[in-house]
């Protein structure tokens, strides 16, 4: 099997998380979901932990592709404001679902999954301590607004009405309006 097979497996695991009632991601269930035998799946992901690490990295890679597309330049050349702006744009304009949230929240309880999530996102959302306090506060507020929005959207718990999405995005953009000195 190729990388496409790995992606199919990872997408299948995410489909299990999207299932009504939140399906369990096991090696057996994932193999069945994608039409493989358990040994066939284990060729690519020998343990459930390896599968979950793959799922977190798969979701993180999707986010990173979206972030880079919104950023429009290499991440290394962007200012903290520009990186957080890209994060805000993705979080408030893309669609997320219970699988995204499940992967994020599961990482809280498993150190290896947390490390994968942090590796993918830390440089996007970290606000340097060298920035003036008012700038730091605005960047942090915009990021937290984006965090709350995508989580509400993904979970369906207290979602923001669709007609308010653009206005919420404008509030976040307003917080990011001033160029930071970094």
Do residues 98 and 13 share a domain? Answer: no
Ranges of residues in the chain whose predicted pLDDT is under 70: 1-3, 20-23, 179-182
Do residues 78 and 118 share a domain? Answer: yes
Q: How many CB atoms lie within 10 A of CB 143?
A: 23
Do residues 38 and 68 share a domain? Answer: no
Q: What is the pLDDT of residue 116?
A: 86
Domain count, the chain: 2
Answer yes or no: pTM beyond 0.95: no
CATH number of the domain within which 88 lies: 1.10.357.10
The answer to the question of residue 54 being in a domain is no
Q: Is 158 left (phi over 0), alpha (psi -120 to 50) or beta?
A: left
- Whether residue 92 contacts residue 149, with contact meaning beta carbons closer than 8 Å, is answered with yes
Q: What is the pLDDT of residue 55?
A: 92
- Whether residue 141 contacts residue 148, with contact meaning beta carbons closer than 8 Å, is answered with no
Q: What is the pLDDT of residue 1?
A: 44
For 84-115, write each residue's pLDDT tens digit: 999 999 999 998 888 888 888 877 778 888 88
Q: Which domain holds residue 74?
A: 61-175
Q: What is the pLDDT of residue 179?
A: 56
Do residues 103 and 40 share a domain? Answer: no
Do residues 73 and 156 share a domain? Answer: yes
Q: What is the pLDDT of residue 107?
A: 76
CATH number of the domain within which 34 lies: 1.10.10
């Amino acid at each position: 099997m190729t990388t496409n097979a790995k992606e199919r497996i990872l997408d299948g695991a995410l489909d299990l998380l999207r299932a009504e009632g939140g399906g369990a991601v096991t090696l057996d269930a994932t193999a069945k979901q994608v039409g493989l035998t358990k040994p066939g799946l284990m060729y690519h992901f020998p343990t459930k932990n390896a599968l979950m690490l793959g799922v977190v990295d798969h979701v993180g890679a999707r986010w990173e592709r979206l972030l880079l597309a919104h950023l429009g330049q290499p991440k290394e050349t962007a200012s903290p404001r520009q990186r957080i702006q890209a994060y805000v744009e993705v979080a408030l304009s893309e669609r997320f679902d219970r699988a995204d949230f499940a992967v994020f929240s599961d990482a809280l309880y498993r150190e290896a999954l947390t490390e994968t999530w942090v590796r993918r996102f830390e440089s996007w959302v970290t606000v340097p301590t060298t920035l003036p306090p008012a700038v730091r506060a605005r960047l942090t507020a915009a990021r937290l607004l984006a965090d709350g929005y995508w989580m509400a959207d993904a979970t369906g718990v207290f979602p923001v009405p669709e007609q308010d999405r653009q206005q919420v995005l404008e509030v976040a953009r307003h917080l990011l309006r001033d160029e930071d000195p970094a």
